[in-house]
Chains A and B, each alone.
Chain A
Amino acid sequence: MSSIYNYTAFGLNFQSEFEIPEFLSGNSQPDVSIRIGRVPSELKNANKSGVSYQATKDEFLLEIDNIARFYVKKGTEIIVEPKHKDIDKEIRLFLLGSALGALFVQRGLLPIHGSAIKIGEKATIFSGPSGVGKSSIAAYFSKIGFQVLNDDISVIDSELKLNPGFPKMKIWHDVAKKLELQINNLSEIRPSIQKYHLPINSVFCNQALSLERMIIIQSKNTPEFECEELTGIKKFNAVKNNTYRYRFVEGLEKQQDHFVILNKLIPKIKVYRVSRPQSSIQLKEFADFLIKTLNIDV
């Protein structure tokens, strides 16, 4: 007899056949069911597919070599077919990443590639390309007293609320050192990668908030920080281009929904492009610059 686990994350209730310790528990009627089972080996009539995924209007299939295959249907169902016997943290890593990303798109939500913190009574997303320091700066802000809503994927619903994810961040070894974290106490995301799950329960904001601003980080090869507020088409494109895996939107034929929610959201938020000096990120200097430039109350 298998157990059933109920969770709440990203404003959705999940019912899972296996334990997802990253999530916070919940009790309500499930919006999404997660189970273990066989999944199709391929999708017929897949649209714009990628190297490791296929997508049709209602279905999404993701394959991670030697780990698992994930089948996501109509935004309500995820089936996981593990390559090995147990559901382990490696499987959950991809479940809580790309597979959830596809589920959000199927549900007509807007997933932004970025980590969000609470400033005042509203949310700010740090977005930008991988490796630019989104999680790092969010983790630094949590260290100086701000709450975190989520890491890596920030989900905005049709009411334009940013829903909290789950109380874990992924932090690389070098950043963990800068944050003066006790690395020995942290669990690696995978045995061969020195990136750790950082529990953030004590600074987790478990409350949906309106989005106030999005800070799109880029690195550049000059020594100073710079900030530019984006307007017009630049603002629109900057947000669109930082959608979590935009190619999923095309594959799942959700361009229309995506466009509508973007158009609703963009007049209501401020979007900044912030440049930081490339190479090793200076977290305190970066945070100080943002606090001063954006008049953030500390």
Chain B
Amino acid sequence: MYKKNVIWLASYPKSGNTWFRVFLTNLLSDSDKPANINDLAESSISSSRKVFDDYTGIASSDLTSEEIDKLRPEVYKKQSEESKDLLFKKAHDKYYFVDDDKALFPSEISKCAIYFARNPLDVLVSFAYHSSKPVNEMTKVLNDSKYAFCYKNNRLHNQLRQLLGTWSEHINSWTQQTQIPIQVVRYEDMINDTFSTFRSAVDFIGLNKDDNQIQDAIQKSEFSVLAKQEKEDGFREKMIKSTAFFRKGKIGDWRNHLDEKMKNEIINNHKEIMMKFGYLNSNNELIY
């Protein structure tokens, strides 16, 4: 009855998700020109209020976040049912259950998930710039178990509430669930070993693309192409106060922004997961 046609592109913010979405758009497009960064489909955002309202027939603005959560899996099922193609859906929510046995992201319709991971020290700096917040404030965010987007119930947010939790909780929630096949893609590997990292992700998803097609899509999605497009035409996923969404994208930029105390605060809180995903070695030394 269900089609397994949904691929979740899950990540904590600022970890390469948007880069990969642009890559996919280029890979699946027939055009010779690089895809427009402002043409990434609205239907591909899991927390879209518009998609929710359209598919339920109810105004989400009249529902509580808990009521919305219970309906979100059904919205994805409906989208899956009506889609002839694979559906790529970006998610910043952690993986969690909205009811006793009902996951927010239903396995019945899920083909697989890609989880984008990045050194939390670089995430912190990038996220701070993205949100126009001082880096010391962002340390608290990465360590905040209750951290969420769009959670206030006294105003209408443009997106639905998204629960993120701490950086470690987020990555754990996705990688420890066993309902949806998942591959972790590290931002650092996307930069250092671009072709084989993207090749492997494409193979995991099961897209039938040859090396040339992948190489071509990588070129059309290079950081410089995206930054140039943003400079010329803007990017609608940028926050108003931030100067650019595609800012630096570099590995190890945290060294220019974090002091010893901030660095240790992150490492002490996320040691286990940083080791597990290759950001700290067994001597507690940073790898990037």
- Residues 214-250 of B contacting A (Cβ, < 8 Å): 234-236, 238-241
Q: Contact check, A97 vs B50: say whether CB atoms are below 8 A apart.
A: no
Pick the residue among A130, A190, A279 that contacts B50 (CB under 8 A): A130
Docked Cα-Cα span, A8 to B154, in Å, equals 32
- Return the contact of B57 from the options A51, A132, A175, A189 (Cβ within 8 A): A51
CB-CB under 8 A from B158, the residues of chain A are: 129, 131-132, 219, 278
Cα distance A215–B59 when bound, in Å? 21
Contact in complex: B62, A94 (CB < 8 Å): yes
Q: Is B58 within 8 A of A52, CB to CB? A: yes
Residues of B within 8 A of A129 (CB): 49-50, 158
- Does any Cβ of B come within 8 Å of A107's Cβ? no
Is B55 at the interface (CB under 8 A from chain A)? yes
Q: Is the CB of B54 within 8 A of A245?
A: yes
Residues of A with C-beta under 8 A to B137? none
Residue from A93, A97, A130, A223 in contact with B156 in the complex, judged by beta carbons closer than 8 Å: A130
In the complex, the answer to whether B57 meets A195 with C-beta atoms within 8 Å is no
Q: Does A161 sit at the interface, judged by CB under 8 A? A: no
CA distance A156 to B70 in the complex (A): 34
Q: How many chain A residues have a CB neighbour from B under 8 Å?
A: 38
Structural contact, B58 and A279, CB atoms closer than 8 A:
no
Whole-angstrom CA separation of A129 from B63 in the bound complex:
16
Q: Tell me the residues in window 184-239 of chain A with beta carbons closer than 8 Å to chain B beta carbons.
A: 189-190, 192-195, 219-223
The reply to whether A51 and B55 form a contact with Cβ atoms under 8 Å apart is yes
State whether B239 touches A221 (Cβ < 8 A). Answer: yes
A131 touches B49 (CB 8 A): yes
How far apart sit A62 and B71, CA to CA, in the bound complex (Å)? 14
Query: Which chain B residues border A194 with CB–CB below 8 Å?
Result: 153-155
Instruction: State the Cβ distance, B30 to closest chain A Cβ, in Å.
Output: 23
CB proximity to A under 8 Å, residues B137-193: 153-158
Q: Is B53 an interface residue (CB 8 A)?
A: yes
- Assembly CA distance A16 to B233 (angstroms): 54
Q: How many residues of B are counted as interface, with CB atoms below 8 angstroms from the partner's CB atoms?
A: 34
Kindly report which residue of chain A lies nearest to residue B52, judged by CB atoms. Answer: A51
> A195, B58: Cβ atoms under 8 Å?
no
Q: Any chain A CB within 8 A of the CB of B61?
A: yes
Binary per-residue interface labels of chain B (60-83) against chain A in the complex, 1 for a CB within 8 Å, 0 otherwise: 111110010011001101100000
Q: Does B213 contact A (CB under 8 A)?
A: no
Q: Are B62 and A52 in contact (CB under 8 A)?
A: no
Using CB atoms, name the residue of chain B closest to A102: B57
* Residues in chain A near residue B58, CB distance under 8 A: 52, 62, 64, 94, 97-98
Q: Is there contact, CB below 8 Å, between A130 and B61?
A: yes
Closest chain-A Cβ to B239's Cβ sits at a distance in Å of: 7
Question: Is A37 close to B, CB under 8 A?
Answer: no
A–B complex contacts, Cβ < 8 Å, 17 sampled? A50-B78, A51-B55, A51-B75, A51-B77, A52-B58, A62-B58, A93-B62, A94-B58, A98-B57, A130-B50, A131-B61, A152-B59, A221-B239, A223-B240, A245-B54, A277-B240, A278-B158
Extra inter-chain contacts (14) besides given A65-B70, A94-B58, A174-B155, CB under 8 Å: A51-B75, A52-B57, A62-B57, A62-B58, A93-B62, A97-B62, A129-B158, A131-B157, A190-B62, A194-B154, A195-B62, A220-B234, A222-B234, A246-B54
| Interfacial residues, chain A to chain B (CB-CB below 8 A) | 50-53, 62, 64-65, 93-94, 97-98, 129-132, 152, 172-175, 189-190, 192-195, 219-223, 245-248, 277-279
Chain B contact residues, CB within 8 Å of chain A: 49-50, 53-64, 67, 70-71, 74-75, 77-78, 153-158, 234-236, 238-241
